[in-house]
Amino acid sequence: MFPLPHYPDKRPASWTRNKCRHNRAAGCRHNSGQELCYLCHQRQRRNIPISFTEEKIKAEQELDRVLQEYQKFKDEEFYEQERRYISREKELSKEVAECNLALADKVKQDRLPDKSYHQSYIFARNGTIPRRYLSAEQYSNILDGQVKIKADRHHRERTDKDKEEREEQAYLSQELASAKQRFIKSKATAVKQYQTALNSQVQNPPYRLPAAVPDSEGPIFGKIDVTPERVRDMRKRAKEVMKHQLQAVQDKKSLVDREKQKAVKHEVELLERAKTELREDCYKKYLLRKGVRDDLERSWTSQHQLKKSRDADELKHRMKSGLLLLDQCDKYKRCDQCKRCYDNVGSSNVWKESRYSAGCRLMV
C-alpha cells in the first residue's frame, strides 16, 4: 500500500493530537499491547487475510481417498492370496483323500479270499460220515489223553534238560580239576628247576682272576687303582662335585625366592591398581551424583524464583486497577513497527515542493 498524500493543516497541533487520540479510541478494536500507530493499524485492518482452510481440507480429503484406495488394494491382494491358499489346500486334501481311498480299496481287495480255486469237490461215492454228536465220556477220554500227552512231553523235556545240565557240570568240574593239577605240576617243576640251578651255582662258583701268577714278583691286577695321586684327584673331584651341587642348590633356592618375591610384588601391584581403579570409579560416581544433584538444585531454585516472580507479578496486576487504552498508549513513545510517534497519520518529513538543482548539493 502507498502512503496517504499530505495536505498542510492550519489547525493547532494540540487539537490535531487530541482528535487523533479520540478517533483511535473510538474506532480501534484491537487488543492492548500491540503498540501500533494509527497508520500501521489501518494498514493491518485493510489487509485481506487469505485462508487456506479449504485447500487444506481438500488435500486431506484427497489424501484420505488415496489411502483408502491403497488399503482397499492391499485388502483385495490379501483376500486373493487367502483364496489361492485355500484352493491349494483343498486340492492337496482332495489328492490325499483320493490316495487314501485307493489304498483302502487295494487293502480291501487284498484281504478278499482268492477265488481262483474251487472250494467244493465232487466224489464218486460218499465217505464215512462221523457221528454228529459225541458223548461226554468220549469228550472226557479225549481230553484226558491230550493232558497225559502234554504232561509226558513236559516231563520228558525236563528230564532231558536236567540230564544235560548234570553232564555239563560234571564236565566243567573235571576240566577245573585237571587244570588245577596241571598248574600244581608246572609250579613244582619250575621250583625244582630253579633249585637245581641254584645248587649248581653254589657247587661251581664263577672263575675269578688271580691277584698274581706263580712267575710274577708281585700283584698284576689293581696296582695303580689306589695310588696317592689318584686318591687326591678323586678327593678333589668329589669336593668340586659337592661344591657344584651346593652352588646349584643355592642358585635354585635364590631363583625360587626371587620368583616368589616377583609374584608377591605383581599381586600387590594388581591389588593396588584394582584399589585405585575402584577409588576412581567411586569418585567419578560421586561427582556424577553431585553434579546431577547440583543441577537439580539449580533448576529447582530457578523454577522457584520464576514462580515467585510470576506470583508477584500476578499479585501486582491484581492489586492495580484496569487502565484505559489511552493511558496504556501513553507509556509507549514509538510505534513498534514503523518506529514513529503515535500521532502519525501518514505525514512525511519530505517537502513535496522540493527541487534539486543540478551541480549542487542543496535541496531547497
533448576: which residue's cell? Answer: 299
Mean pLDDT of all residues in 207-227: 62
Q: What is the mean pLDDT of residues 161-187?
A: 92
pLDDT of residue 26 exceeding 70, the answer is no
Q: Specify the pLDDT at position 313.
A: 85
Residue 231 has pLDDT above 80, yes or no: yes
Structure confidence at residue 15 (pLDDT): 43
* Cα–Cα dist 219/43, whole Å: 153
**Is residue 9 a contact partner of residue 16, using CB atoms and an 8 Å limit?**
yes
240-263 per-position pLDDT tens digit? 999 999 999 999 999 999 999 999
Give the pLDDT of residue 201: 81
Does the pLDDT value for residue 33 go beyond 50? no
Q: Name the residue with higher pLDDT: 355 or 341.
A: 341
Higher-pLDDT residue of 323 and 186 is 186
With vertex at residue 266, the alpha carbon angle to CA 261 and CA 269, rounded to the nearest 5 degrees, is 125
pLDDT at residue 83, as a whole number: 92
Beta carbons of 363 and 354 less than 8 angstroms apart: yes
More confident call, 332 vs 271: 271
| Alpha-carbon dihedral sign for residues 260, 261, 264, 270 | negative
pLDDT for 323 equals: 62
> What pLDDT, on the 0 to 100 scale, is given for residue 22?
43
DSSP 8-state class, residue 37: -
Contact between 345 and 20 under an 8 Å Cβ cutoff? The reply is yes
Q: DSSP assignment, residue 3?
A: P
Residue 10: pLDDT over 60:
no
Model confidence pLDDT, tens digit, residues 94-132: 999 999 898 888 888 888 766 665 556 666 666 566 565
Residue-level pLDDT at 261: 93
Q: In the prediction, which pLDDT does 159 show?
A: 92
Is the predicted pLDDT of residue 19 greater than 50, yes or no?
A: no
Instruction: Report the range of poorest mean pLDDT among 40-54, 129-143, 271-285.
Output: 129-143
Determine the pLDDT at residue 122: 61
pLDDT at residue 66 tops 70:
yes
Site of grid cell 483364496:
83
Q: Is the pLDDT of residue 350 over 70?
A: no
Handedness of CA 273, 277, 282, 284 (dihedral sign): positive
Mean of the per-residue pLDDT values for the chain? 78
| Residue 335 CB coordination number (10 Å) | 19
Does the pLDDT value for residue 225 go beyond 70? no
Quote the radius of gyration of the chain (alpha carbons, Å): 68
Lowest-confidence pick of 11-25, 132-146, 216-230: 11-25
Lowest-confidence pick of 9-18, 61-70, 195-204, 277-286 = 9-18
Contacts 24+ apart (CB under 8 A), 30-33: 32/325, 32/328, 33/328
Q: Is the pLDDT of residue 209 over 60?
A: no
Q: How far apart are CA 66 and CA 302, in angstroms?
A: 51
- Residue 363 pLDDT > 60: no
CB of 30 within 8 A of CB of 337?
no
Q: How far apart are CA 347 and CA 235, in angstroms?
A: 137
| pLDDT over threshold 80, residue 336 | no
Share of the chain above pLDDT 70, in %: 68
C-alpha 255/C-alpha 262 separation (Å) is 10
User: Is pLDDT at 320 greater than 80 in this prediction?
Assistant: no
Q: Say whether 48 sits in a helix, a strand or coil.
A: coil
Q: How far is CA 140 from the centre of its chain?
A: 83
